Chain A
């Protein structure tokens, strides 16, 4: 479904991604883990077109999207929930969802909004509230709900559990599993390596801009190097 080959991304002189290659197959949950500054968010931004790789290629559904503008990728089935949620704080919950449906057929929007409200009932009660006044957990739900409005085939989540209480983290991971069960392919970036490796079919480990390990979620969860570095023992 998605194939990144040999990506090199720079911020000015900083070489943030070094020869990154990774693959996500239809129906998988793939996790991307690594320490702060490893290049996880940079990888997602490169895939979604916000950043450009100097080399290699990115292929989505057999189409080379290396030079496709970010906004055109939404209708090709890609949705990216960025780090820090990035919801529109001055717009209402409903307007945020409408923005998520910017490229969706108008006739489908109402049903999709109902779907999101069913999945996240707390948003329904707050639909006319300004998004900036939502709690952190509600904002994360809105960010995910907003991404679902484009009916993505590939959903990329950048640290969806960041800053949330354990009970909410569990809730978010339950939703990830539900979405996956419903047929959505997921590329998940997480600091919470333990949780991420548990749900992931496969995972990649990033270290200073390079992929240093990859394998199934299980394999990595049991690898000594990973245990030491990310699982606290």
Chain B
């Protein structure tokens, strides 16, 4: 395969990472916590779409919508019952809870859907775009377009909309936001809802690419996207996007030209180097520790 094809595949993978990383970074920005269960929400989204589309034979668009609705509710529920009671607890307690939620979701999926890999059919009809001797699959194209649209829409939402501004206010100073009349709890819920709906879309796109789904499907992409978020500067929206895209491209190129087996090691080595040089990530702001 040519370098251009590799780059396009990398961008496609990277844009999915970016969409997932947005969920991590938004939740971190507003709730100051790492939601390690975020990756498993991806998996749930994949299964819901699978059940509607493959098992029930309904149109793929219904599968995607159902996945988004279920994941949104799931995200709000996780926040409400697992994280909200710990709002004032130490970060270690929250971290352990998040890991617990992650295992809970994986085990629940194992019980409900079984532990074997199921064959996922792509939500995008198979077609290919050919430009000269370059051929881009429909799925790759749709993945990139959808992700870019999500990134632009989310950026505008956070910059311009009333709720988006409230989210920024809450992420800066919860008490001050509360004094403005902003309902901090519901703003945090909205953030989890948006992040989880995005995770559902990412899950469907990822399963369409990998053509399979199992209960641990979300783990690796989750960790990669988390890496991307840290890479870009956790808490930063543009950082999550750039971090995700870069990670996808690096991973794809490294698989193609360096070593398939060593790729993950390479990706994490790059992360370590970036963090050594810029501890706050590419776009990270200096963190003013407030007590």
Contact = CB atoms under 8 A, between A and B. Distances in A.
Interface of A: 48-50, 69-72, 74-75, 79-80, 82, 86-91, 95, 98-100, 102-103, 146, 150
Nearest to B179: A80
A99 B175 contact: no
Name the prevailing secondary structure of the B interface residues: helix
Interface in B175-190: 175-184
Given A70-B178, A74-B179, A103-B180, 11 more contacts: A48-B179, A49-B178, A71-B180, A74-B180, A75-B181, A80-B179, A86-B173, A89-B172, A99-B165, A102-B182, A146-B180
A90 B172 contact: yes
B175 A82 contact: yes
A75 B173 CA distance: 20
B169 interface: yes
B168 interface: yes
A87 B168 CA distance: 12
B207 interface: no
Given A99-B165, A99-B177, A71 B172 contact: no
Given A91-B165, A91-B168, A74 B181 contact: yes
Contacts of A95: 165, 168
A63 B114 CA distance: 56
Contacts of A79: 179
B249 interface: no
Nearest to A73: B181
Contacts of B181: 71-72, 74-75, 102-103, 150
Contacts of A48: 179
The CB with the most chain B CB atoms within 10 A, among A49, A70, A98, A99, is that of: A99
Contacts of A71: 178-184
B173 A99 contact: no
Closest 10 CB pairs of A and B: A74-B181, A103-B181, A86-B176, A70-B178, A102-B181, A99-B180, A102-B180, A88-B172, A71-B183, A71-B178
B280 to A, nearest CB: 14
A98 B173 CA distance: 15
A1 B172 CA distance: 32
Contacts of A74: 179-181
A72 B180 CA distance: 9
A214 to B, nearest CB: 26
B20 interface: no
8 contacts: A49-B178, A71-B179, A71-B183, A91-B165, A91-B168, A91-B172, A102-B181, A103-B181
A90 B29 CA distance: 13
A95 B158 CA distance: 12
A50 B178 contact: yes
Nearest to A96: B169
A89 B171 CA distance: 11
B184 A88 contact: no
B165 A86 contact: no
B168 A102 contact: no
The CB with the most chain B CB atoms within 10 A, among A48, A70, A72, is that of: A70
A49 B176 CA distance: 12
A80 B162 CA distance: 21
A90 B168 contact: yes
Nearest to A106: B162
Nearest to A131: B172
A120 to B, nearest CB: 18
A49 B183 CA distance: 13
